[in-house]
Amino acid sequence: MRIRFDTNKPVVLAIDDIDVNLHMIENVLGKGVQVIKRDSGRGGLDYMDGNHVDIVLLDYNMPGMSGVDVLDVMKRQEKTRNIPVIILTAETDVDIETEVFRRGAVDFIRKPFSPMVVRERVRRVLENEHFNKMMRQEVERQTRLAEERLATIERLFNATIMALVQTIDAKDPYTQGHSLRVAEYSRRIAELAGMDIEQQQEIYCMGLLHDIGKIGIPDAIINKPAKLTDEEVALIKSHTIIGANILGKIDHSPKLSFGARSHHEKWDGTGYPEGLKGEEIACEARLIAVADSYDAMTSRRSYRDIIEQSAVRREIEQGRGTQFDPQFADIMLQMIDEDVYYRMRADRFHGNGANLL
């Protein structure tokens, strides 16, 4: 019997309480495999506990632990459950054959057995197991490659987002870090709202890119010190549509555009660009709207300093149920109340810049 798939011979464990049968199996299989002989079910299990085995030839009728008992133990244990088992028996009852297959045996040989039958059955099982092993290894290799490619794509995606965020914030020296802070506040609100990690990360990305549409707004308008004309106000407001159109083209994250499009909508329907009301507004956008407004009030502007924390709290409270979703406004108020030393403001903020995905 010539079966050598690698540098080692396949290991066949023969378990039979009759010594003659064990030697017959060893002689039949020949030198192409390594035959380990054990004369009891317990002895076979003990050997498998500490050694590699490729296939088990197991006698059905044995004193103490029967072949079925051994098979049951093997199938319950992680280390042995996938080792193929061929049952050998002199029994002629077809129900026994059905039973051993149901319990997990891969083949069944009746005694007295033909040497050619034993060799061919063992060869077939070993070849099948070798093929399955190669397939599992290939699946594992392809999975690793896919994971590595995905990690590379995610790193590029993250780097692209951060580059866009820096481009957005660079348009206005008074909003440096605004996008990162809004993203961090948004993720914290999502966490306190009971959203899972995946939802929190998704909202974090939305928060980072909520103002991406400002790329399409001239710097002269964004940084204009004087009052804006009606036309200029309309142009500023168009950053929501511009942002949604940009992000809507990213198939990787189809919901990414929600925050950009609707973070200026208001709970009472008086916001823009569509005047959506209540739960007509995407949940993520309602959440980001609170974080965005909070950061706007707690950041220094060309025309004013950072607003006092008590005044910020009052504004959020007054906007609850009109400008803001009450649930997310309440969470923001909780965050403010817990921030005793007012560290959650632009000039004291230290974001962790966590991975986006």
Q: How far apart are CA 218 and CA 162, in angstroms?
A: 21
Q: Is residue 71 part of a domain?
A: yes
Are 191 and 239 in the same domain? yes
Are 317 and 205 in the same domain? yes
Do residues 54 and 11 lie in contact, with contact meaning Cβ atoms separated by under 8 Å?
yes
Rounded to a whole number, what is the distance in angstroms from the first to the last CA of the chain?
Answer: 54
Q: Is residue 252 part of a domain?
A: yes
Largest CA distance in the chain: 104
Closest CA to 325 of 274, 271, 273: 271
CATH number at residue 74: 3.40.50.2300
CB-side exposure of 338: number of CA atoms within 13 Å?
A: 8
Residue with tokens 């007509």: 280
Q: How far apart are CA 71 and CA 85, in angstroms?
A: 8
Q: Is residue 345 part of a domain?
A: no
Are 130 and 179 in the same domain? no
Are 181 and 134 in the same domain? no
Do residues 25 and 35 lie in contact, with contact meaning Cβ atoms separated by under 8 Å?
yes
Q: Is residue 317 part of a domain?
A: yes
For 344, the token pair is 């959650």
Q: Is residue 309 part of a domain?
A: yes
For 206, the token pair is 């939305």
Are 179 and 289 in the same domain? yes
Q: How far apart are CA 355 and CA 103, in angstroms?
A: 48
Closest CA to 112 of 35, 18, 204: 18
pTM over 0.75: no
DSSP state of 278: G
CATH number at residue 216: 1.10.3210.10
**Domain around 320:** 171-338
DSSP state of 288: H
DSSP string, 73-119: HHHHSTTTTTS-EEEEE----HHHHHHHHHTT-SEEEESSPPHHHHH
Number of domains in the chain: 2
Write out the E strands in the chain: 11-15, 34-38, 55-59, 85-89, 107-110
Q: Is residue 347 part of a domain?
A: no
Q: Is residue 353 part of a domain?
A: no
Q: How far apart are CA 255 and CA 70, in angstroms?
A: 54
From first to last of its 357 residues, the chain has per-residue pLDDT tens of 555 544 478 999 999 999 999 999 999 888 888 999 999 999 999 999 999 999 999 999 999 899 999 999 999 999 999 999 999 988 878 888 888 889 899 998 888 888 888 888 898 988 888 888 888 888 889 989 888 888 887 788 778 788 888 887 777 766 678 999 999 999 999 999 999 999 999 999 999 999 999 988 888 888 887 888 999 999 999 999 999 998 988 877 788 899 999 999 999 999 999 999 999 999 999 999 999 999 999 988 777 788 999 999 999 999 999 999 999 999 999 999 999 989 888 777 766 544 433
Are 195 and 235 in the same domain? yes
